[in-house]
Amino acid sequence: MLDLVFTRRFSMGHRLIHGASESCALPHGHNEFVAVRLRPTAPRPLDGSGNMVVSFQRAKSRWHRFVDERLDHALQLAEDDPLLAWFRAHEPERARRIVVTPGDPTTELMACLMMAKLNALLDDDGGLLRCAEITLQETPTNTVRYEGDPLEALPTPRPATDCWWRRADDSIADA
């Protein structure tokens, strides 16, 4: 089986308010690496001419743009975080750069949200590829790897069709 694998680096800020640790309750940031492994939905032998599943350019362009324009230097906050309400009331333009998550934006949750978003983008591009695995490195010593259906791992606080991670657009929040 031929898989396509690529990595992107981005910087982010977040805070965890639901009891992870006191130090994580303060806003802080990480320089993260996200690696994805894409698998063809209909595997077949190379054709003897172009000899690729799809071009790397096609496979990664929308994803890299999403990471660069929506996740890089964004703040990740739980949907019930009081900071989110503050930003929406006092700095609405900056609030648009906040990734809003169902519960604390842990590395585990973000890996699943990102994989679901990538699959929505891939489905929108004809469904030739599917994300088989995602690896999110938060620090050089802390990494989360997920394979499988991310929708099975994600919390479901609202109808699934209303979630930004299910839409093939650049959204990072629902409200």
Residue 95 in this model has a pLDDT that exceeds 70: yes
What pLDDT, on the 0 to 100 scale, is given for residue 47?
85
Backbone conformation region of residue 103, classed left if phi is above 0, alpha if psi is from -120 to 50, else beta = left
Q: Which amino acid is at 164?
A: W
Look-up: residue for tokens 């006191």? 22
What pLDDT, on the 0 to 100 scale, is given for residue 156?
74
- What is the phi/psi pair of residue 60, to 5°? -110, -10
Residue 161 in this model has a pLDDT that exceeds 90: no
Residue 21 in this model has a pLDDT that exceeds 90: no
| Residue 36 to residues 8, 78, 92, 108, Cα–Cα distance (Å) | 9, 24, 32, 15
Instruction: List Cβ neighbours of 141 (8 Å cut-off, separation of 6 or more).
Output: none
For the beta sheet containing 28-40, the strands, ordered from the edge strand earlier in sequence to the opposite edge, are: 98-101, 74-78, 4-14, 28-40, 129-139, 142-147
Residue 157 in this model has a pLDDT that exceeds 80: no
Percent of the chain with pLDDT over 70: 97
Residue 124 in this model has a pLDDT that exceeds 90: yes
Please give the CATH topology (third level) of the domain spanning 4-166: Tetrahydropterin Synthase; Chain A (3.30.479)
77-88 average pLDDT score: 96
| Residue 32 to residues 29, 45, 171, Cα–Cα distance (Å) | 9, 35, 20
Q: Which amino acid is at 41?
A: T
- What is the phi/psi pair of residue 5, to 5°? -130, 130
Q: To 5 degrees, how large is the angle CA 121–CA 124–CA 130?
A: 60
